[in-house]
A and B are shown apart, each in its own frame.
Chain A
Amino acid sequence: MKAKNFSFYFGIGLLSFIVLVAAFAPWLTHYDPIGQDLLHTLASPNSHHWLGTDNLGRDVLTRIIYGARIDLSIGVLAVLFPFILGTTLGLISGWRGGWFDAILMRIVDTTIAFPFYVLAIALVFVVGAGPKSIIIAISLVGWVAYCRIIRAAVLVAKELDYVHAAKLSGLPTGRILRRHILPNVISQAIVFSMSDIVLSILAIVSLGYLGLGVPIPTAEWGSMIQEGQAYILQQWWIPTIPGIMVVIVGFSLSLIGDGLVKRLNK
């Protein structure tokens, strides 16, 4: 069994490595992620700067590590809120049906039809650029997917006999939803949330690239790609390495997601 789920453990290992490195960043590197060193700009990788330095002489490796902190934590938060909101609304919508369901589903349709980046740009103007508006923007759109997944699963589960049995024992609706329905419908949402983290990190990076994300000079993968692209022909590693980091994080989360499908459906 364990051998079969090798990719799951590989994904967990890879992601934990990145998370640990990001968590212990101050002990792993003595450079300041925003400290400039104008005497050593655009250095090639060497024994002092393993991944070289950028146009302001900042250590690229250090910025990658500190960038992981920002990107991962915003990525997780921007999935956590929609996960909770969408799951709750989906549970109620699927269980109650009727006018509540009809209205909520129209809101869902509208949200899906709305272009995400237009919403994000509008929010940046209202709230100001930064992690807060990114999380709000992704949450405003992201809950829809969880709502739909959970609602569909509840529609199936509520007609199963064990739910009928719980009703017959007179248990209150809240308890039936929490103890008998939620544990049986949540797995699909958890699996989806893994790929959703990848999507939201991509969104953060894209917003950062557009200059709408975390304000400079804070180290963040998206803005590193944007700032580095001017040097892509000579110092290609400056914009490329952050991009590769996004790919690695996405890859490990996908592996975890696939592994979870196997585990939860056992």
Chain B
Amino acid sequence: MSDIVLSAHELSKHFVGRQSLLAKVRGQDPFTVPAVDGVDLDIKAGETIGLVGESGCGKSTLGRTLVGLYPQTSGELSIFDRQIGKERSLEERRAVQMIFQDPFASLNPRMTVGNMLKEILLFHKLATKEDVEDKSKELLTLVGLPTSALKSHPRQFSGGQRQRIGIARALALQPKILIADEAVSALDVSVQASIVNLLLDLKRDLGLTMLFISHNIAVVRQISDRIAVMYLGRIVETGPTEEVFANPQHPYTKLLLNSVPKMTPGSKLGEAPSGELPKMQAKFVGCRFRGRCPVAVDACATTDPKLLPVKGSNNPDHMTACLLVQ
């Protein structure tokens, strides 16, 4: 299994609330939000995984934990079979890079594009003082920007162009895997398309491995080889994109896909998941989805379903965490 670039096993990130002194003395447990709670995910070289789920399900937290912006609470994370500890080495940092959601907050307004690229290229010794300008120009060309952009400040660019600069910055470090956290959600639809096309081109030309986090199912379907559906800090279903779209197994996936508007005239929206996303709580007993699940049975209240291959499916990659289909 050496073609697995990044592997998470039982990965968790819990946010622990502040506690008053009194509560500490009383020995109360602090208020905890398990934003990511036991995620298993393997990402193979060259593939793009789309991570979908509704707001608050922990998609972004998972992405930020994978790149190391948040330290994991528990579980294992490895890159190319090498375990990642709490402190990452420079090389490990370089291996996982991120494209951010808001192109207006993700670039230092007081630094030219050239200086920004130069700083990281020289710091990681990916270029020498002599060829750093050429390398930077190459990167800009790669993401479809004119080389004259080197001397400009971020404020001189539009949202789509800024996002391209953000992609160039991530690519500068020659990462093994790129995490795109809602990378197109802040852009106009026409610009979204051009960024998606750029990512597809990069994937084809550079063999890029990518985790594409989005709530936009249509975009995810277009870009990903495999999708992972997340619900309340867990991955509830994963499989090849078309297989999951054609044959969703988990009741949550079914509801989620049903709620996407269709392009066929006269077609009705399917039933949306009823009710609100329940509050994250420190300990879940049984299946997390059962409160909103239309087909829940008694066993769902006591047994926590594991992510297992779908029974009867001829595709071993199609896995789901639902007692009823295992």
Give A contacts to B, CB under 8 Å: 160-162, 164-171, 179-180, 183-184
Q: Smallest distance from the beta carbon of A177 to chain B beta carbons, Å?
A: 13
B67 in the interface (beta carbon within 8 A): yes
Complex A-B: 5 CB contacts under 8 Å: A161-B102, A169-B93, A169-B119, A171-B123, A183-B111
B110 in complex: contacting residue of A161, A165, A167, A184, CB < 8 Å: A184
The residue that A162 contacts in the complex, of B68, B97, B105, with Cβ under 8 A, is B105
Q: Which of B93, B94, B108, B169 contacts A180 (CB 8 A)?
A: B108
A166 to B67, CA, bound (A): 12
Nearest first, the 9 A-B pairs at minimum CB distance are: A161-B106, A170-B93, A183-B110, A161-B100, A162-B108, A169-B120, A170-B90, A161-B105, A160-B105
Q: Assess A168 versus B69: contact at CB under 8 Å? Given A161-B100, A162-B105, A162-B108.
A: yes
Interface size class of B (residues with CB under 8 A): 20 to 34
Alpha-carbon distance between A173 and B119 when the two chains are bound, in angstroms = 14
* Other-chain contact of B94, A165, A166, A170 (Cβ < 8 Å): A170
> A170-B94, A170-B123 given as contacts; is B111 within 8 A of A165 (CB)?
no
Cα separation A106 to B109 with both chains bound (whole Å): 33
CA distance in complex: A168, B173 (Å): 10
Among B102, B107, B123, point to the contact of A169 (Cβ < 8 A): B123
Interface of A is mostly: helix
Residue of A nearest to B106 (CB): A161
Q: Is the CB of A165 within 8 A of B68?
A: no
Q: Which residues of B contact A170 (CB under 8 A)?
A: 88, 90, 93-94, 123-124
- Is the contact region of chain B dominated by helix, strand, or loop, or is it mixed? loop
> Complex: how many Å from CA A225 to CA B130?
63
In the bound complex, do residue A184 and residue B124 qualify as a contact, i.e. CB atoms below 8 Å apart?
A: no
User: B110-136: which residues lie under 8 A (CB-CB) from chain A?
Assistant: 110-111, 119-120, 123-124
Give the distance in Å from the alpha carbon of A122 to the alpha carbon of B10 in the complex.
Answer: 63
**In-complex Cβ contact of A165 among B96, B101, B124, B169 (8 A):** B169
| Cα distance A180–B88 in the bound complex, in angstroms | 21
Specify which chain B residues have a CB less than 8 angstroms from the CB of A171 in the assembled complex.
119-120, 123
CA distance in complex: A62, B94 (Å): 65
Q: Tell me how far the C-beta of A53 lies from the nearest C-beta in chain B, rounded to whole angstroms.
A: 53
Please indicate the chain A residues that have their CB under 8 angstroms from the CB of B68 in the complex. 168
Q: How far is the CA of A183 from the CA of B106 in the complex (A)?
A: 15
Closest Cβ–Cβ distance, residue A180 to chain B (whole Å): 5
B173 contact set on A, CB distance < 8 A: 169
